[in-house]
Amino acid sequence: MWEKKPILLLVLATCAIMVGTIVTMILPFAWVNTEADRIEGVTPYTALQQEGRDIYIRDGCNNCHTQTVRPLVPEVLRYGDYSKSGEFVYDRPFLWGSKRTGPDLARLGGKYPDAWHYKHMESPRSMVPKTNMPDYGWYSNNLLDPQMIQRKMETLGFPYTAEEIKDLEGKNDMDAMVAYLQKLGSDIPWRDAAETTIVGDLVNPYADANQETISGWAPIYADNCAACHGPNMEGEIGPELIGEDYDDEILFTIIYTGITDGGMPSFSNLGTDKVWKLTNYIRTYQAEGSQ
């Protein structure tokens, strides 16, 4: 029937497409980035952070990393609270992405100290042995050009003062990239809400493990701790562990929940069994090193 009335079919199809376009594209653009949509605490990028963002785009980092946590249980458990539109009011363009060759970065800011990022950008495998991310050590050799940055900022209408531009002198691409990465997700207090809480008494299931058994847990330390605390617990980005005198419960809690202010992430993703093995391994070698 309809195929015999092509003009009517065309009109109805056009109407259907227009309704779909309005509902899925036009209305969302009208709803987002309004005053009601904004999140208190979300601030514009500094000049250094904005330059780091430009470098991130220039070198195609968004081809491997997303910057949005979807409202799905596995996503939230791995990356933190799901993303809200108000977090991106200062992003031009958005860098949500859809391909994760590398992990999502939306909640990266504050997870690690600056020193971790500098070392990771210079040699990713020194921090994450199995990564296929290329080295970006050459960033340190590229000094920023404050005059060029100022021209870009003026063209785009970003409100940076002459003093803020002057502060870029002597900075390089690596400084800008680290500043940008530390900004991501740091404007909202999601970590406070997602803080891991241990309920009940802690009982060490491996308190009676022998030396041979504990030595077999060395790979867990090597894979998760050595990059920051050194292969022999001598300290590097993180503090030296030899000679410390934490009891089992305190050390387990530190590893499991992390230290937000100190830039140590939670290792609750390892599960309680592996965290207890780490606890016993570190405690054993702390005692040996202090003798």
pLDDT tier, 202 (very low <50, low <70, confident <90, very high otherwise):
confident
Q: How far apart are CA 109 and CA 263, in angstroms?
A: 10
pLDDT at 3: 67
CA 76 to each of CA 44, 80, 112, 183, 191: distance values in angstroms, whole numbers, following the listed order: 25, 5, 19, 19, 12
- The string of pLDDT tens digits covering residues 84-100 is 888 888 888 899 998 89
Asked whether the predicted pLDDT for residue 25 surpasses 60, the reply is yes
**Same domain (yes/no): 63, 138:** yes
Question: What percent of the chain clears pLDDT 90, i.e. is strictly above it?
Answer: 42
**Same domain (yes/no): 168, 229:** no
Among residues 162, 193, 224, the one where a domain terminates is 193
- The string of pLDDT tens digits covering residues 134-161 is 999 999 999 999 988 888 888 877 778 8
280: in domain: yes
Q: Closest by alpha carbon to 290, among 228, 241, 220?
A: 241
206: in domain: no
pLDDT at 179: 97
**Same domain (yes/no): 58, 166:** yes
Query: Who has greater pLDDT, 196 or 50?
Result: 50
- Measured from the Cβ of residue 105, the count of other Cβ atoms closer than 10 Å reads 25
Q: Closest by alpha carbon to 232, among 286, 154, 280?
A: 286
**Same domain (yes/no): 80, 186:** yes
**Same domain (yes/no): 236, 180:** no
* Full residue range of the structural domain in which residue 162 is found: 47-193
Tokens 């081809």 sit on residue = 63
